[in-house]
Amino acid sequence: MSIAAVIQQYNALTKPRVIQLIVFCALIGMVLAIPGLPTAGEWIRMAWACIGIWLVAGAAAAFNCLVEKTLDAKMRRTAWRPTATGQLSDTQALLFSFLLCSLGSAILYVLVNPLTMWLTFATFIGYAVIYTLILKPLTPQNIVIGGASGAMPPLLGWTAITGEIGSQALILVLIIFLWTPPHFWALALYRVEDYRKSGLPMLPVTHGNEFTRLQILLYTFLLMAACLLPFVIGMSSWLYLAVAVILSAGFIAYAVALMRNYSDELARKTFRFSLIHLSALFAALLLDHYLI
């Protein structure tokens, strides 16, 4: 096997698309913590923080792939992962996860600050251990409770710059926390047979399609309320407000359409829109911070 192929397999363990969104949200937290343009020193700290967060998040993803290799092998969406196919052994995946986590934690502790390192490590434990090992196989509310770990990136970015936990960062955490269930349940709806085969108690499996669609709808309303908070507290202005209203209304429209006339294709479109929703929302926060 070529070196390029091996590198590609290890990279796949880190779930790069997910990691990109995590680092992007963390970067937004960093930028919003700085009143004006970053200084040269702040740019350097931001760069090291992004690298450290990327490494630890990648370690959590790799550990998740290791723990769930048997489940992944049963699901079309994940059967290709190197741990599920046996292309990478348990020892290789575990060592890779350990090295990424150790290196990332060291970078954050030495070159950023200890608080960011400990919060990032706590996120690793929350996702890789509490969510993956305990919550996911135990309760259909796994994604709601476990979503707290996935919502942490903006706070990690904020603490990387300020060295303390800020209320504005917590609002961003709340947005991602409320975004996660409708985002994930839309995926679970059209992948329900995969989850049924895996034996995981995902909401569409345990409570059915209609109940899951209702939960998605309710969460999109809660999410819209949370998305308005940055404007309400004066953290952002009209540019962000306009984008937040449009995106939130779009997400609600998809949820309403799912309730009225379900199809796997519509659930897939809802899932894809949820990714656009979060990315565009945080991009609007960034633009609003500098343009208004």
Whether residue 120 is found in the same domain as residue 208: no
Global confidence as pTM: 0.89
**DSSP secondary structure, 213-247, as one string:** HHHHHHHHHHHHHHHHHHHHTTSS-HHHHHHHHHH
Answer yes or no: do 1 and 128 share one domain.
yes
Residue 130 has a pLDDT of 81
Looking at the structure, do residues 265 and 176 belong to the same domain, yes or no?
yes
Cα–Cα distances (Å) from 95 to 59, 71, 273, in that order, read 10, 21, 36
Cβ pair 262, 213 in contact under 8 A: yes
The CATH number linked to 43 is 1.10.357.140
Please check whether residues 137 and 118 belong to one and the same domain: yes
Identify whether the C-beta of residue 222 lies closer than 8 Å to the C-beta of residue 155: no
Which of 115, 136, 165 delimits the end of a domain? 165
Positions in the chain short of pLDDT 50: none
Range of the domain at 64: 1-165
Last residue of a domain, one of 165, 180, 203: 165
User: What whole-number distance in Å separates Cα of residue 117 and Cα of residue 85?
Assistant: 33
Does one domain contain both 185 and 77? Answer: no
Helix (H/G/I), strand (E/B), else coil: 68? coil
Q: Which pLDDT does position 94 carry in this prediction?
A: 92
Give the pLDDT confidence score for residue 53 in this predicted structure.
96
Co-location of 192 and 147 in the same domain? no
Residues 204 and 149 in one domain: no
Q: What is the model's pLDDT at position 1? A: 63
280 and 206 share a domain? Answer: yes
Domain end, chosen from 126, 147, 165, is at 165
Domain count of the fold of the chain: 2
- Assess contact for 68 and 60: CB atoms under 8 A: no
Question: Domain holding 261: CATH number?
Answer: 1.20.120
Do 197 and 224 fall within a single domain?
Answer: yes
Burial (Cβ within 10 Å: 0-12, 13-18, ≥19) of residue 3 = exposed
Query: Would you tell me how many other CB atoms lie within 10 Å of the CB of residue 74?
Result: 17
Query: Could you tell me if 12 and 148 lie in one domain?
Result: yes
Whether residue 92 is found in the same domain as residue 230: no
Is residue 131 domain-shared with residue 174, that is, in the same domain?
Answer: no
